[in-house]
Structure 1
């Protein structure tokens, strides 16, 4: 069909063909990100002549949507190179410079995603309008870009300390399902001291990770529900961002334990400085939003239930006084 080599023709089917091709491109590259393989070449798309699809209400939405994914693939390649350099104890200056460039690229595309002012900011968007499609694409782009920033900064911020027991996305696994409790009581999460002259400081990377994780939590909750029959539970969207949710959950939980490690009294004792209490509440609400979103995805995609359960168990270990989040 040569969908990747279409021209500028504008017949009745040209827009549909463009969307088919670029969603095929999206899905192939998304698999590369999820599998952490980065096996596809994104450095040269010149062989693809098919124009980008176009939403009249938001002409840039498709390009932002695809650019967010391209950066995700580039970040997978980066982390692979980063780990190789780190394990070989070689000079990290080139890798650090690449990290800065990727981080700037993320911010540039993120600012473009933020620049569009929708006609309505309501959560209950009407799925029958393409303006809703444009807003959802921008929200998914923000989620993916935030996840990419976490991937770039997670090692510097949290030393890649394992938290979950199962292999989800590129997160390291533990030997014990209750490792969250072990982290809270035994581990002092400190900057990884092998890095010399890192691209970002420990505190900078931590702040970036936490802000990105909270963005993911908020944007997941802002995805609209589809129009369905009354009483039918339906997912907000295809679960293309569940790895982003896992990354965000990891960051919020690790930041909670980091706060726990810096205080002599229990973090949930209620006798804490106001700033710390506010930070803990923000982390908790972010995790609740993520679990709620994963519950929603799991209504139609059973495989996601395992990811949701791991987050929920870790959440209740961290916040044992919180009632079960409704499903």
Structure 2
């Protein structure tokens, strides 16, 4: 099967059909290397890279969609219906010198370049590989590909200057292709988005085919455990037997972040786990290499996350006695494995919450509840609280050496994600009791209910009556509200502290080079844990509504448990102070989400978060 996607030329936008770079008098310094006719322009990207603007091609929310029966009846009404969301965070004016015109694509011309890009953009979020080889990490140096007029509307790997040689490098290229090239001024234009999306999908399809072939080739096991086949050595410590497992893990993340396809994410994650188990990666001892440990446990992390997203049981539990492979260790100042165990325990707690809450939320369908729900919920809450304390007490001694920075960010990322997931588990346990799952979003996100406009407001009739909840749940509505408040703000802080590629320091020689004032580089991450932001934002928005309703009705005493030492004389100011804290937490999560706008799978989340935020805080 040819690695190509045919598109009618007439379907491409004008910039795609025209092809070739536009060059003004100020851009003569940017030269492209000579290529055969009808090939493309390959431009070496400038070393200084501008920040990715916090914008997208998302369509505005229609204010007419919001019903007056919802707590957020004015959701979206305060937005200009002709003003897209991206205009709210318009990027600063940039000098046109060195900027690229027309649709362009980030490309790399060797396995080594892809590996370096992996450590800049993927490793800080998901450490699949051992630490980078060598004493220092080279700077990311992408090339820029621009289709010629003759190739407009056709997407083929043969058009690119280099085709990755393994399933892993192909899968990573699918992620990297989504990142706009440096100085791409048209990165949010439909044609640019289409070009990146099309090549990313092509890389993903090729990676899947290559992974299947590699699995067939490696059925002989670990006979050649060094596994470095000529032409496919991606990392000196990485056996090629691990390539398809890691590729399937990357494709699982790609399917969620870019495609928003939770079912396919789970399918790829389960493929990675079953392949790893076929290779006995789960039954290794203390002699297991760091590459083997990370291949197994990152696959488990993604598999657990896919199970939580699909509200299904994982194909293997972390408590399964067959698993003997030790956790990986971050080799910074001291070898640290604690963040890995914290994240896995947090994910396991989320799945436990799903199992406990499923009978309660399904009452209207089956009419039965678990008899031991009260005891199970109490026990699970205590367990999650213990995990939260462990996260707070986890102190990472980060290394100072230049090459330690990559591992520092990876360790910090796993730790912060563990904190966010732990508090997400607690929110999921208490959210239903605190707010009865009243819907506020237009689209379906995670396990949150959404507004079904054709049946609203009758859809709220299926919610259990308050006396029923009092008799079957071990916490009162007030207690669950307070717990949800604390955990949601903790999630906001954890997500704000997540590291990203923009935190990687420049080497001394690079710091001395002149840089554009806006050249901070792409600072996004892999948004595969962003359901935590949706859970926390839901709680914060609902509490803002509750506080404002109490303020307007002059019945603030009902909200006293949420306030800090309230008094009748100062209760209004106490409530407004809490509303401001809730606003800051919600805004922080929106900013965190918008850093990752290049991934189209979170577009619906951002649309709903923006609509809710501007409804509550129009100014």
User: Normalising to structure 1: TM-score of the pair?
Assistant: 0.83
In the aligned structure 2, how far is the partner of 1:262 from the partner of 1:80? 32
Two-structure CA RMSD over aligned residues (Å): 2.9
Choose from 264, 273, 288 the match for 2:572. Answer: 273
1:281-292 correspondence runs (5 A): 281-292=580-591
- Residue in 1 that maps onto 2:487: 212
Moved more, 221-230 or 198-207: 221-230
Is 1:3 aligned to 2:293, yes or no?
no
In the aligned structure 2, how far is the partner of 1:233 from the partner of 1:295? 12
Q: Is the contact between residue 373 and residue 472 of structure 2 (CA under 8 Å) also seen in structure 1?
A: no
What's the secondary structure of 1:303's corresponding residue?
A: helix
Is 1:263 aligned to 2:557, yes or no?
no
In the aligned structure 1, how far is the partner of 2:407 from the partner of 2:465? 45
- Residue in 2 that maps onto 1:185: none
Choose from 193, 207, 210 the match for 2:467. Answer: 193
Q: Is the contact between residue 18 and residue 53 of structure 1 (CA under 8 Å) also seen in structure 2?
A: yes
Choose from 323, 328, 331 the match for 1:53. Answer: 328
Q: Is the contact between residue 328 and residue 340 of structure 2 (CA under 8 Å) also seen in structure 1?
A: yes
| Structure with greater Cα Rg | 2
Deviation at 1:222, TM superposition (A): 1.1
1:219-298 correspondence runs (5 A): 219-227=494-502, 230-235=519-524, 237-264=525-552, 273-298=572-597
Deviation at 1:224, TM superposition (A): 2.0
In the aligned structure 2, how far is the partner of 1:152 from the partner of 1:86? 19
Deviation at 1:240, TM superposition (A): 2.4
- Residue in 2 that maps onto 1:79: 357
Q: 1:231 to 1:132 in 2, by over 3 A?
A: closer
Choose from 372, 385, 392 the match for 1:107. Answer: 385
- Residue in 1 that maps onto 2:444: 167
1:31-46 correspondence runs (5 A): 31-42=306-317, 44-46=319-321
Listed as ranges, the gaps of 5+ residues in structure 1 are: 183-189, 322-327
In the aligned structure 1, how far is the partner of 2:437 from the partner of 2:404? 39
In the aligned structure 2, how far is the partner of 1:9 from the partner of 1:41? 23
In the aligned structure 2, how far is the partner of 1:127 from the partner of 1:199? 47
Choose from 426, 429, 435 the match for 1:152. Answer: 429
What's the secondary structure of 2:600's corresponding residue?
A: coil
Listed as ranges, the gaps of 5+ residues in structure 2 are: 1-278, 458-463, 507-518, 556-569
The number of aligned residues is 300
Q: Is the contact between residue 339 and residue 418 of structure 2 (CA under 8 Å) also seen in structure 1?
A: no
Deviation at 1:155, TM superposition (A): 0.8
Deviations, residues 101-155 of structure 1 (Å, cap 9, x unaligned): 11111111111111123447xxxx9972433322221111110011111110011
In the aligned structure 1, how far is the partner of 2:423 from the partner of 2:610? 21
- Residue in 2 that maps onto 1:325: none
Deviation at 1:260, TM superposition (A): 2.0
Choose from 337, 340, 357 the match for 1:62. Answer: 340
Deviations, residues 230-288 of structure 1 (Å, cap 9, x unaligned): 343231x3212211100011100111111122222699xxx971101101101111110
Structure whose residues are more often helix by fraction = 1
